[in-house]
Structure 1
Amino acid sequence: MKKMKKRISFFLMSSLILFNFSCYYDQEIDLSQPLPDIPVDQTISFSTDIEPIFAKSGKDCTACHNGNVANPDLQAGNAYADIISQIVPGDAEGSTFYQRLPGNGHPLDVGFVMDNADIALIKAWIDRGAENN
């Protein structure tokens, strides 16, 4: 029984270590193209505009950011609470969350970078106060 507990502990620790190192950051998005302008009168809702970006087909941030590790949980319903501590409302450039978006200083090597339209929308949302609406 004691041997079994050791094996289970070893397996769990090995799995956790492998999972933590499965995503690494080495790609950069080409920001030579300016971010698209988001009209000032366009309402940006966290729940309908921002949160769905995290689970877009082909850009599923929730594959790693799912509450199982120390990364922010970007799953629907959990994302706002987990990222707000990394956001300076009104200052996207000063927000750790914005600085670490895939393709904007913290890209993941999972075969995608966030496109400029999504980055622009997140930036505008933060710059406008990062409300949980």
Structure 2
Amino acid sequence: MKKSIQLLLIGSLISFNLSCYYDQDIEFPEEEVEIPDDQEISFRTDIEPLFSQSGKDCTLCHNGSIANPDLRIGNAFNQLVPDYVIPGDAEGSELFQKLPGNNHPIDAGFVLTNDEIALIRGWIDRGAENN
């Protein structure tokens, strides 16, 4: 009887210790990226393609029928400015606030990289031109 209680106690302690395993992997957030002032940012070549990348395709939902705005190539600029983008004010622009990786209202299944977010921020802060 004494031996079975000891075995039960030892088994319980082992189980307790194993259940307290803690994963030591720590993810550090990426640092904010700054786009150099002399780097041109083009809506057509830098920004619009971000919305339909393989594996990060915003247009699966933002396609003119499921969710607004329509981010398909050829439609995106007129859908974004001025309703979702305030030229010169990325922080105040709904597009920037709701990017996957910032505060997208649903789990998009992906996030944009800091470089991609910085490009969008730079484009908006520099006037959100249709170039």
In structure 1, what residue type is equivalent to 2:94? T
Higher RCO, Cα 8 Å, sep 6+: 1
Relative to structure 1, the CA distance from residue 31 to residue 131 in structure 2 (aligned partners, 3 Å threshold; closer, same or farther) is: farther
**How big is the alpha-carbon RMSD for the aligned residues of Structure 1 and Structure 2?**
1.7
What is residue 109 of structure 2 aligned with on the other side?
111
- Percent identity over the alignment is 61
Q: Residue 107 of structure 1 contacts residue 113 of structure 1 at CA under 8 Å; is this kept in 2?
A: no
TM-score by length of 2: 0.74
My pick for the range that moved more, 62-71 or 30-39, is: 30-39
The alignment covers a number of residue pairs equal to 104
Select 1:47's aligned residue among 39, 44, 48: 44
Tell me which amino acid in the other structure corresponds to 1:67: G
User: 1:98, CA displacement in angstroms?
Assistant: 0.5
Shift of the 31–127 alpha-carbon distance from structure 1 to 2, 3 Å rule, reads farther
- Report the CA distance shift for 1:109/1:70 in structure 2 as closer, same or farther (over 3 A): closer
Q: How does 1:1-133 map to 2 (within 5 A)?
A: 32-84=29-81, 85-106=83-104, 108-133=106-131
Inter-CA distance 82–67: structure 2 relative to 1 (3 Å threshold): same
Indicate the SS of the match to 1:37.
coil
Does the aligned pair in 2 maintain the 1:61–1:74 contact within 8 Å?
yes
Q: Between Structure 1 and Structure 2, whose CA radius of gyration is higher?
A: 2
- 1:3-43 C-alpha deviation (Å, 9 max, x unpaired): xxxxxxxxxxxxxxxxxxxxxxxxxxx89433211110011
Question: Contact (CA 8 Å) 2:100, 2:108: kept in 1 or not?
Answer: no
User: How far off its partner does 1:69 sit?
Assistant: 3.0
2:39 partner letter: Q
